[in-house]
A and B are shown apart, each in its own frame.
Chain A
Amino acid sequence: MKSSYYQSQDLKKFKSISDWSPELGKKFFDYYNSVFEEGALTAREKSLIALAVAHTVQCPYCIDAYTQDGLQRGVDKAEMMEAVHVAGAIRGGASLVHGVQMMEVYNKRSM
């Protein structure tokens, strides 16, 4: 067993998840590749969304992959950091909006 749960080299082995389930693996990667194709959104825009989501789900593999993908697509540091702040704002907002629930319970239970 490796000394750490996360190993950066494992990113290169991502495709090996198909080994134990080729059919589902193929379906997943076909879907994955289709999702990132140029469409109503540009591939560059999709890459930035992926970077933001990677921070939301806190996946170190995805953060590595989509930082590098962004570099290749000419995304600069200001754009990447703004995307991370979008993730932060949604995550933070998701916590804070529950404050309304807290306030309602507090008010209901208080005199």
Chain B
Amino acid sequence: MPTKSLKAQKSILASTQKQLNLLSGGIFASGELPTFSERIAVQGESSLRPRKLEILQMNIGYMCNQVCAHCHVDAGPDRKEMMTRETLEKCLKIIETTSVHTLDLTGGAPEMHLDFRWFVERAAALGVKDFIIRSNLTIILANKKYNDLPEFFKRHSIHVVSSLPFYKKEKTDSQRGDGVFQKSIQAIQMLNAVGYGQPNSGLLLDLVYNPSGAFLPGDQQALENDFKKALKTNFDIDFNQLFTITNMPISRFLDYLVASENYEEYMYALVEAYNPEALNNVMCVNTLSVRWDGYLYDCDFNQMLDLKVANPVQHLDDFDETLLQDRTICISQHCFGCTAGAGSSCQGSVV
């Protein structure tokens, strides 16, 4: 298990350019596998373009109390990047003045942001239809000051989306760190106790499944059934939906793929599982991702590769919804992660 971010380790793959070079070289440069651009061209698509903006995903900082082996953000306790209050205020303005109906707060652990509660109170007051917070669960138990988060979430009708890679300890801890499974279970029980995941409570608790290794997720519904049965039987836990998310070959997961000599096989699996139907529903067509410093991206993965939106508007300071709509979405071979099998997005499978 890593204990530091790739950045703190000064790893070669902490460089976004090195990651992009790797994703464009080797089997893709030689023509052994088609590039993403070539693959969508077969389907008659010369590029990907956004539809109506519906989801604003804000990555408010890369600090996290965990150092997960697959993290595409390369988050960890050593990451200090954090959105300023001024930038948070600019995001509030976008929520107020655009067609955005879903606010998706992520990190790192967003709860560790110093202005987290200040921001949530204000954003919730704006009445967005769906206010998602991506919580890693263990943060709720990491310090006394976080213990009341379930009540805080409830007070503001937050839709909680939390990672739990498996319903057993071994696979969860191998991906997220020793002791994470037990703490996650305890945190879900605390969320359940205030009403999250309970029938008719209106308090949504969705779990996220990421494969704990170099393989693709299985059928979302089948896995959800297995999760529900196991978590109810063993821990009396309830939740709403399970989202299966494919691990993207970027950042720390890319580092793992290379170190474990799984990179080529994994890329083969992603390309072979390409699903044309998934392309129509990829999340970048209705999402905009904001980095802690106000720069704009087509998705959180492009943010981590520093592929800024291909548009004259690249920063919140110049935000213009109409101008931004007129752009081509930046793509590279990591995009095969969102189109494999039943597809993958921050809301799970897309087909």
A residues whose Cβ falls under 8 Å from a Cβ of B: 12, 42-44, 68, 71-74, 76-77
22 contacts between A and B (CB under 8 A): A42-B222, A43-B219, A44-B222, A44-B226, A68-B215, A71-B211, A71-B213, A71-B215, A72-B215, A72-B217, A72-B218, A73-B218, A73-B219, A73-B222, A73-B223, A74-B166, A74-B167, A74-B218, A74-B223, A76-B166, A76-B168, A76-B171
Per the bound structure, the CA–CA distance linking A72 and B145 in Å amounts to 38
- Whole-angstrom distance from the CB of B305 to the nearest CB of chain A? 26
Residues of B within 8 A of A71 (CB): 211, 213, 215
Residues of A within 8 A of B216 (CB): 72
Per the bound structure, the CA–CA distance linking A69 and B211 in Å amounts to 12
Residues of B within 8 A of A12 (CB): 268, 272
The closest CB in chain A to the CB of B265 belongs to A8
**A43 with B222: in contact, given A12-B268, A76-B168, A76-B171 (CB under 8 Å)?**
yes
The closest CB in chain B to the CB of A68 belongs to B215
- Whole-angstrom distance from the CB of A64 to the nearest CB of chain B? 10
Q: Which of the listed residues A68, A72, A74 has the most CB atoms from chain B within 10 Å of its own CB?
A: A74
**Complex interface residues of chain B between 258 and 289 (CB less than 8 A to chain A):** 268, 272
19 more A-B residue pairs beyond the given contacts A72-B216, A74-B223, A76-B170, with a C-beta to C-beta distance below 8 A: A12-B268, A42-B222, A43-B219, A43-B222, A71-B213, A71-B215, A72-B211, A72-B215, A72-B217, A72-B218, A73-B218, A73-B219, A73-B222, A73-B223, A74-B166, A74-B226, A76-B166, A76-B168, A77-B170
Per the bound structure, the CA–CA distance linking A45 and B306 in Å amounts to 43
- Whole-angstrom distance from the CB of A59 to the nearest CB of chain B? 19
Residues of A within 8 A of B168 (CB): 76
6 tightest CB-CB pairs across the interface, nearest first? A72-B218, A73-B218, A71-B215, A72-B215, A74-B223, A74-B226
- Whole-angstrom distance from the CB of B196 to the nearest CB of chain A? 23
Per the bound structure, the CA–CA distance linking A42 and B226 in Å amounts to 11
